[in-house]
Amino acid sequence: MSNTTSLSQEMQQKMVQTVNAAQVMLSNIMEMPLPDFEEHVKNELESNEALERNTGDADTSNLYDGVRDSLGDYSGNEDFTVRNSHTSEEDYSNFITIDQVPEDMRQRYNNDVRQGFAARQYDSDKPAMEIGDDGGTSYDSLLQQIGELSLNEEEKAAMTYIVGSLDERGYLAKSDETLIDELAFQEYIDISPETLHRLIGMLQEFEPRGIGAHNLQECMLLQLTDPDDRSPRTHSLIYRLARKVVRDHFDFLSNARWDKIQAEIDVDDDTIHEIQNLIRRLNPRPGYGLYESIAHTAPTIIPDFYLYVEKEGKITVTLEKGGVPSLKVSATHQRIVEEHDRAVQRAKAEGRQPSFNRQQQEAYEYAVHKVEAAKAFIENVRRRNFTLTKVMEGIAGFQHDFFVGEDDESLLKPLKLQDVAEYAQVDISTVSRAVNAKYVQTEYGTYPLKHFFGSEFVSANGETVAQRQAMMAVRRLIEEEDPHAPLSDQAISERLKEEGMNVARRTVAKYRERMKFPIAQHRKRH
C-alpha cells in the first residue's frame, strides 16, 4: 500500500470521526433544556479561548436574536405563511435618558432584551418559576389572608367562596352577576354588587400580586401597582411607563410589537429595554398550583418558547435565549491561522517551501484546532436554534386550533413525532430530543412540548381520538349533567360510546379522579 493511499484513508477516517463527533455534540445540545444548555455554553467559552462572546463589534449575526416568525394556518402539507419581525430603525426623540433612571432600577433590569411579553422568564437575579410554586399562593395561604381582614362572618364566607372560584391561573373568570347568583343559591349569602366589588378589590391586594384578576391585562397591572401606594419603586418612571404600556397599548404588547410601543410612548432604546425587562418579569399565572403545594419537590420550569396568538389567528413563536450570548470566533486566533495560510501561499507562489520554526508551527496547529472547534460549536448552536424553532412551528401548526381556542383541550389533535419530523425535515429521534424537557409559555399557561403528543385510542368508527379529548368529553358530560341525577362512571362510559368514543368505565373513573370530580353520589344535590 502506497503512502498516498495510506494518507488518504487516514484523512477519510479522521473526517468520519469528526462528522460523528459533531453529530453527537448536536444531539446532546438539542436535548438539553435551557438551563443545561446555558451551562454548556458557559463551559465551552471557558475551555476554548478561540470562542468568544460577540459584543457587537464584529460583523457577526446574533445566533440568538429570538427567532420570531408569524405562522399562518397549517393544513396538510401546506407551508406556513412566514414573515419576519424587525425592530424599527427609526430614531425616536428621548422622553427620558437612562441616566435619569434610578440606579437600583438599572441594576435590577439590565439583562438582555428578550422577545415576547408577560412571561416569567429566566433571569440571573430572579428565581425561575416552579411547578406548584406556592410562595404564599396556596389555597390555605389565601384563606389565612382572609382571616387577617376585618370582615363579618357573612363577608368572610363570601370571600372564601370567591377564592374557591379562582381558576388554575388565579383569575376570577366568573362575572359579578354569576358570583352573586351562586352565593345566593349555593351559599345562601345575599350581597350587593358594591360589596362584591369591595371584596374582590381586597382579594386583588393579596399575595401573590395578580391574584383575583379578571384577565391577563388586569393581572399585569395589579403586579405593577403597590396596593398601599407606598413603594418608591412603583412610583418610578419605568413602572409608570410599564403601566401605561399595559393599560393603553395592550394590543401591541400582546403581539410583541415593541417598535410600535416605543413610537407611541416616545422613549429612547435604553428606556424601552428597561420597560421590556420589567414587564417580562411579571407572572401571568399567579395562582399556578393554587390547590396543592408541591413547591419543594417540583422541578424548575424555564420556558424554551413563548407563543402568542394575533387577532387574525396567526401564531407567533419566540425562542427564548436565556443567558446564552451571541458567539463569535476569536479574531486573534483567526488572525494566526490566516497569517500562516498567507505565508504558505506566498511561499508556493515564489516556488519555495514555507519555513516556520517549531514555536510558530505549534501555535498554528493549536489555533487551527481551537478555531475549528469554535466554528463547529457556533454552527451547532445555530442548528439547535433553527431545529428547535422548526419543531415548535410544526407543533403550533398542527395544534393551531388549540392555541387559538383559549386553552380548550378538546381541540387538541392526535399528533405523532413523525408528523412534526416530516414538517421540520428531520428524523424522529431529533424531534424526540427537541421536545424532551422543553416548555412553551402561552397566554393561558406553560406546557411541556410532550403535552401536544397525546397517546391515542381507536374510536368506534375507526378514527384516532386523543386521550385528552376523551378526558374533556368526560368533563363536559359531568358539567352538563342533571345535578339532581348525576351520571355514574358506567353511564358516562355509555354516553361516550354513543358519541363514538370507546372508553371503559375504569378509564372514565381514572379521568374523573384526575380532574378531581367526586363520584356521582357525592355530586348529587338534593
Positive/negative CA dihedral, 401, 402, 406, 408: positive
Q: What is the pLDDT of residue 10?
A: 54
Query: Does 226 have pLDDT greater than 60?
Result: yes
Q: What is the pLDDT of residue 105?
A: 33
Q: What is the pLDDT of residue 22?
A: 64
Query: Does 137 have pLDDT greater than 60?
Result: no
Query: Does 115 have pLDDT greater than 70?
Result: no
Q: How far apart are CA 189 and CA 358, in angstroms?
A: 92
Q: What is the pLDDT of residues 380-389, one digit of tens each?
A: 999 999 999 9
Q: By C-alpha distance, which of 395, 434, 431 is closest to 415?
A: 395
Q: How far apart are CA 216 and CA 310, in angstroms?
A: 15
Q: What is the pLDDT of residue 291?
A: 52
- 101, 106, 111, 116: CA torsion to nearest 10: -40
Q: By C-alpha distance, which of 298, 271, 293, 273 is closest to 127?
A: 298
Query: Poorest-confidence range of 177-191, 451-465, 481-495, 511-525?
Result: 451-465
Q: For 49-68, what is the mean pLDDT?
A: 55
Q: What is the pLDDT of residue 234?
A: 63
CA-based angle 296:301:304, to the nearest 5? Answer: 170
Beta bridge partners of 305: 319, 440
Q: What is the pLDDT of residue 103?
A: 38
- Residues near 300 by beta carbon (within 8 Å), at least 6 away in sequence: 35, 128, 129, 130
Query: Does 299 have pLDDT greater than 50?
Result: no
Q: What is the pLDDT of residue 9?
A: 56
Better pLDDT: 521 or 445: 521
Taking each helix axis as running N to C, give the angle between helix 153-164 and helix 139-147, from 0 to 180 degrees, rounded to the nearest 10: 160
Query: Poorest-confidence range of 84-93, 304-313, 413-422?
Result: 84-93
> What are the backbone dihedrals phi and psi of residue 107, each rounded to the nearest 5 degrees, phi first?
-70, -35
Q: Which residue is associated with the grid cell 439583562?
A: 111
Q: Quote the cell numbers at residue 94.
A: 428621548
| 3-class DSSP assignment, residue 356 | coil
Q: Quote the cell numbers at residue 8.
A: 488518504
Q: Is the peptide bond before 208 cis (omega within 30 degrees of 0)?
A: yes
> What are the backbone dihedrals phi and psi of residue 299, each rounded to the nearest 5 degrees, phi first?
-75, 155
Q: How far apart are CA 268 and CA 99, in angstroms?
A: 12
Query: Does 294 have pLDDT greater than 70?
Result: no
pTM above 0.85, yes or no: no
Q: Quote the cell numbers at residue 350.
A: 515564489
Q: For 8-27, what is the mean pLDDT?
A: 59
pLDDT-derived band of residue 309, with 50, 70 and 90 as boundaries? confident
- Write down all domains in the chain, each with its CATH number in brackets: 1-81+314-408 (no CATH), 456-523 (1.10.10.60)
Query: Poorest-confidence range of 136-145, 345-354, 491-500?
Result: 136-145
Burial track 253-282 (b if 16+ CB lie within 10 A, e otherwise) = bbbbbbbebbeebebbebbbbbbbbbbbbb
Query: Does 369 have pLDDT greater than 70?
Result: yes
Q: How far apart are CA 524 and CA 526, in angstroms?
A: 7
Q: Quote the cell numbers at residue 154.
A: 357573612
Q: How many CA atoms lie within 13 A of 472 on its CB side?
A: 13
Better pLDDT: 27 or 124: 27
Query: Poorest-confidence range of 70-84, 269-283, 485-499?
Result: 70-84
Q: By C-alpha distance, which of 129, 114, 125, 38 is closest to 277?
A: 114
Beta bridge partners of 316: 70, 308
Burial track 214-242 (b if 16+ CB lie within 10 A, e otherwise) = eebebbbbbbbbeeeeeeeebebbbbebb
Q: What is the pLDDT of residue 118?
A: 32
Query: Does 245 have pLDDT greater than 90?
Result: yes
Contact 124, 111 (CB under 8 A): yes
Q: For 462-466, what is the mean pLDDT?
A: 47
What single DSSP character describes residue 167? -
Which amino acid makes up residue 101? V
Q: How far apart are CA 68 and CA 87, in angstroms?
A: 11
For the chain, the distance separating the N- and C-terminal CA atoms, rounded to the nearest angstrom, is: 95
Q: How far apart are CA 280 and CA 258, in angstroms?
A: 12
Beta strands in 60-106 (DSSP E): 68-71, 83-84
Q: Quote the cell numbers at residue 435.
A: 421536545
Query: Does 70 have pLDDT greater than 50?
Result: no
Q: Are strands 83-84 and 439-442 parallel, antiparallel or unpaired?
A: unpaired
pLDDT-derived band of residue 414, with 50, 70 and 90 as boundaries? confident
Mean residue pLDDT across the chain: 75
Q: Which helix (H) or strand (E) holds 112?
A: none
